Amino acid sequence: MSQRFFKLADDVYVPHRWHLATPIDSQGRKVFDWDFTRGTPVHLEGRLKIPTKIEGRSLDFSEAGLGIGVVHVKVASMLAERAPGDVQLIPADIEGQPDQYLVLVATRLIRCIDEEASEVSFWKPEHGVPDKVGQYMGVDRLRIDKRKVGNAKVFRPEGWEVVLIVSEEIKNAIEDMGVTGARFEEV
């Protein structure tokens, strides 16, 4: 049986949920979202602080800023155990929350998008952004070539790093734990 993979995303339809803002570093500066979605380790000093944009029900998985995964310590522990070479977990304080949270960084970037099975569009010269020509402009109905994934359990697809992908094993563990805030879509 072929291994299955899933896009892990923030379930924005959870009622009365919190919404997290972009994390702030130990010097009080907002961090760059793209530093956390490159598929490589992030180098920071000190703990991050994550303000809440909208107060509400805390979640075990949510996104801060644009695609920065934030997980409760129980999720972080599971990921550290099952996918230690695929993740970096950065301690973060969320205002008003006594529980421990960590920023989840996928440290693997894999060139695996199945361009035939996905709906992809590319930047072209006529778009007027020369440094992006040939890169993905959009990826809908994302499908990956599972043969290119190897033993990865948590990763981002090269060229479309806004997506966080997890193996079926990780998906099942998250569901078995009753994690709030996570939604999955098979890729």
**In tens digits, what is the pLDDT along the chain, a chain of 187 residues?**
579 999 999 999 999 999 999 999 999 999 888 889 999 999 988 899 999 999 999 999 999 987 899 999 999 999 999 999 999 999 999 988 999 999 999 999 999 999 999 999 999 999 999 999 999 999 999 999 999 999 999 999 999 999 999 999 999 999 999 999 999 999 9
State the pLDDT at residue 32.
84
Q: How far apart are CA 164 and CA 184, in angstroms?
A: 10
pLDDT at 80: 97
Q: What is the pLDDT of residue 173?
A: 98
pLDDT value, residue 95: 86
The 3-state DSSP composition of the chain as helix, strand, coil percent (nearest 5) reads: 15, 35, 45
What are the structure tokens assigned to 141, written together? 């109905």
Which helix (DSSP H) or strand (DSSP E) does residue 61 occupy? Answer: strand 61-64
Please tell me the total number of residues recorded for the chain in this structure.
187
Contact 157, 144 (CB under 8 A): yes
Sequence letter at residue 160: W
Strands 109-110 and 154-157: parallel
pTM metric for this prediction: 0.93
pLDDT of residue 72: 98
What is the structure's pLDDT at 67? 84
| Cα–Cα distance measured from residue 21 to residue 75, given in angstroms and rounded to the nearest whole number | 20
Q: Among 92, 104, 107, which Cα is nearest to 51's? A: 92
Instruction: State the Cα–Cα distance between residues 153 and 35, nearest whole angstrom.
Output: 20
The pairing of beta strand 5-10 with beta strand 182-186: antiparallel
- State how far Cα 34 lies from the chain centre: 11
